[in-house]
Amino acid sequence: MEIDPKLLDYCTSRQREILEAIIAQGDCKKASLSLGLNIGNASATLANVRAKAAKNGYAPGHFDQGTAPGFEMGKVTIQRAGNGAVERTWERQSPDQERVLEALRAAVDAMAGDITPAAPTPLPGVTFHDLLTLYTFTDFHLGALCWHKEGGDDWDVQIAETVGTRAMGALVDGAPKSHTAIVNIQGDFMHYDGLQAITPMHGHILDADSRFGKLVEVAIRLIRTLVATALSKHDEVTLLIAEGNHDICSSLWLRKLFGALYENEPRVTVHESEIPYYAIRWGNTMLGFHHGHLKKNDQLPALFAAQFREMWGQCEKVAIHTGHRHHREVKEHPGAEVIQHPTLAARDAYAVRGGWWSDRRISALTYHRRFGEVGSNTVTPEMISD
């Protein structure tokens, strides 16, 4: 481990002793053990010294002019003297989102090339050709940490996987033997989007459970379970993984990952879209999907009519599915019905303090090719608890 010797100029005597131990040992952990400190002490000291040096104008490895690599310039504040001369400036830079997404897509495509596709599974038997059943998991917030003393119920990664698995099993058991199923992962399936437990766009700190690596493992395993459960009853399954405001990047790599995983499974189709608005036609019905973070519910009918003009014109019925607000709402608009789905997840501290309340539930809706929605069944957490 290399440390810039100039950092020693910004150390107290004790910090200098610790940094010299890191240099001698070549490792923070070994340095802590050699000095009889807690394992993380040397690493924390190094971070504090670097922060102090940066505040004093010395930040090795960082840019000193222009824009930082991978960032784009935002707001710039200028302070001028009485004669108009510039005395100092403050620059606000943020990650270039387009470059981040381009890099992410390239990485996902590269990873997908090494995935062994899932083997085809046998057909479940006779099904009703005119029926489609929609299973919607929205605002599942896998990775959130909720405490029953605040929100009434506990929620962590293990609880979420158990609830999601049991809920899907109960929904499939209660659904008709529809020919087709849509497993609709409608945004905010994951609570946070990277190594830091923050919202990706605004950086709000989140109550989070587990490491991101474990969160990724459980997300992949749970979605495979949802698809496998649907395949046990339905001839064909469409997997739709929508973008949410909590999982902008994760929804992308999950979509690419499962596209590669199921490329040899003729009974599974992974819905692809580079925009966060999705549409699937089932006979006379257009099924639209959007998480709800970019457009309000009453704006969705006009947007979908414009975005999917041909499909809209060919269908007698339009049902647009959304989430984001965690509670159930169904409203008819001219030419379309907007169905806002509730969540299975428990309330976190943010929801409790904000006074937001909703019943936890999930529903499977069944559509007929000619007649539109013809049935539904609902599951609550209490129905599937031990």
101-151 pLDDT per residue, tens: 665 666 566 556 667 788 888 899 889 999 999 999 999 999 999 999 999
Per-residue confidence (pLDDT) for residue 279, from 0 to 100: 98
The answer to whether 117 and 262 are in contact (CB under 8 A) is yes
Per-residue confidence (pLDDT) for residue 137, from 0 to 100: 98
Confidence grade of residue 60 (pLDDT, cut at 50, 70, 90): low
Query: What is the pTM for the complete model shown?
Result: 0.73
CB environment 107-135: b (16+ within 10 A), e (fewer): ebeeebeeeeebeeeeeeeebbebbbbbb
Alpha helices in the chain (DSSP H): 13-25, 28-34, 41-55, 97-112, 148-151, 157-174, 212-231, 248-261, 300-307, 309-314, 349-354
The CA distances from residue 314 to 165, 308, 332, in Å, are 36, 10, 19
Per-residue confidence (pLDDT) for residue 50, from 0 to 100: 87
Whether domain 97-384 has CATH 3.60.21.10: yes
Q: How far apart are CA 216 and CA 196, in angstroms?
A: 13
Confidence grade of residue 324 (pLDDT, cut at 50, 70, 90): very high
Confidence grade of residue 85 (pLDDT, cut at 50, 70, 90): confident
The answer to whether 185 and 137 are in contact (CB under 8 A) is yes
Q: Please count the residues of the chain.
A: 386
Residue 369: enclosing H or E segment and its boundaries? none
Confidence grade of residue 96 (pLDDT, cut at 50, 70, 90): low
Percent of the chain with pLDDT over 90: 66
The two tokens of residue 114 are: 């090494």
Per-residue confidence (pLDDT) for residue 44, from 0 to 100: 86
More confident residue, 243 or 95: 243
Q: Say yes or no to pLDDT of 27 above 90.
A: no
Confidence grade of residue 224 (pLDDT, cut at 50, 70, 90): very high
Per-residue confidence (pLDDT) for residue 94, from 0 to 100: 61
CB environment 224-261: b (16+ within 10 A), e (fewer): eebbebbbebbbbbbbbbbbbbbbbbbbbbbbbbbbbb
Q: Say yes or no to pLDDT of 153 above 60.
A: yes
DSSP string, 274-334: SSS-EEEEETTEEEEE--SSSS-GGGHHHHHHHHTHHHHHH-SEEEEEE-SSSS-EEEEET
Query: Domains of the chain: which residue ranges?
Result: 5-55, 64-95, 97-384
Percent of the chain with pLDDT over 70: 90
Average pLDDT over every residue of 247-272: 95
Give backbone dihedrals phi and psi of 376, rounded to 5 degrees, phi first.
Answer: -155, 155
More confident residue, 59 or 247: 247
